[in-house]
Amino acid sequence: MKEERRGPIVTLDGPAGSGKSSTAKAVAARLGFRHLDSGALYRALTFALLESGVPEERWTGLTEADLLALEVSVEPTETGFDVLVAGRAVGDELRSQRVTSRVARLASLRASRACLMALQRAAGAHGRLVADGRDMGSVVFPDAEVKVYLVADLTERARRRLRDEGVRVPTDRDVAAQSGVIAERDRHDSEREFSPLRKPEASHLIDTTRLSFENQVKSIVSLVDRLTPP
Ligand code: DC
């Protein structure tokens, strides 16, 4: 896999709200690499499944072929990838409550992990990629040149999520409720049987609780700058 690469792969994994996607996007922009948001693929698969009308109680019996038939794909852009379902670009639908509340369930199925593997690896075939998710450094790109594991305190992650949703001054109650939702997502992602969330071997641990966004980005870019050319 490595021989065909024209540059490194950088992986960013971590729990919900640790700042992976925004950090990965900024790191990719700084390096002139593409950004792959693997969470968006699991969301697209969930969206496609909901649209197809397969009742949720039948999801566990789905095969990889069933999921491949939903035709989730990606198309490279200048800075990343558009996510498509049956040839149609999907965007805002992926962040809807309908998808968000069900995606962890779908992501825990072996068939969904298998279905998206080739697509993710193809996106990194030529390197020059910053991929974020839960299993980028551990399963999908185990030979990535730079692996990062981002963490942050639960309440800080809850505050960030609320800020993203437009809640500028959250109350303690808002933070407590959001912390509960995130903790439940973490539990789901860490305890599942297939590709559970864990710190990849040889990854750099970065705690973003008290780190400015700019410093987070800089510290990852400097790890890439320090790589010795092949
Ligand atoms: O990062 P996100 O919130 O968009 O992720 C959506 C869901 O997909 C979340 O439950 C974790 C799961 N996911 C995963 O299992 N593996 C990945 N590589 C990326 C996301």
CATH code (residue 57): 3.40.50.300
pLDDT at 1: 53
Q: Output the average pLDDT for the chain.
A: 94
CA distance 14 to 21: 10
Q: Which of 51-55, 114-118, 160-164 has the lowest mean pLDDT?
A: 160-164
In-domain check, residue 2: no
Does one domain contain both 142 and 106? no
Mean pLDDT on 95-123: 95
Domain that holds residue 176: 7-33+127-225
In-domain check, residue 198: yes
pLDDT at 123: 97
Does one domain contain both 135 and 120? no
How remote is the CA of residue 228 from the centroid of ligand 1, in Å? Answer: 31
The total number of structural domains in the chain stands at 2
In-domain check, residue 54: yes
pLDDT at 19: 87
**Which residue's CA is the closest to the ligand 1 atom numbered 11?**
104
**Six-digit token pair at 109?**
């199925």
pLDDT at 45: 98
In-domain check, residue 170: yes
Q: CA 44, 79, 202: angle at the middle one, nearest 5?
A: 80
Does one domain contain both 78 and 113? yes
How remote is the CA of residue 45 from the centroid of ligand 1, in Å? Answer: 11
Does one domain contain both 116 and 201? no
Confidence class for position 5, pLDDT limits 50, 70, 90: confident
Residues with CB under 6 A from ligand 1: 16, 38-39, 42-43, 103-104, 107, 133-136, 185, 189
48 near 86, Cβ under 8 Å? yes
Does one domain contain both 94 and 173? no
How remote is the CA of residue 41 from the centroid of ligand 1, in Å? Answer: 8
Mean pLDDT on 85-93: 94
DSSP 168-202: SS--HHHHHHHHHHHHHHHHHHHH-SSS---PPTT
Higher pLDDT, 194 or 72: 72
Total-model pTM: 0.94
Does one domain contain both 100 and 167? no
pLDDT higher than 80, residue 228: no
Q: Which of 126, 145, 168 is the last residue of a domain?
A: 126
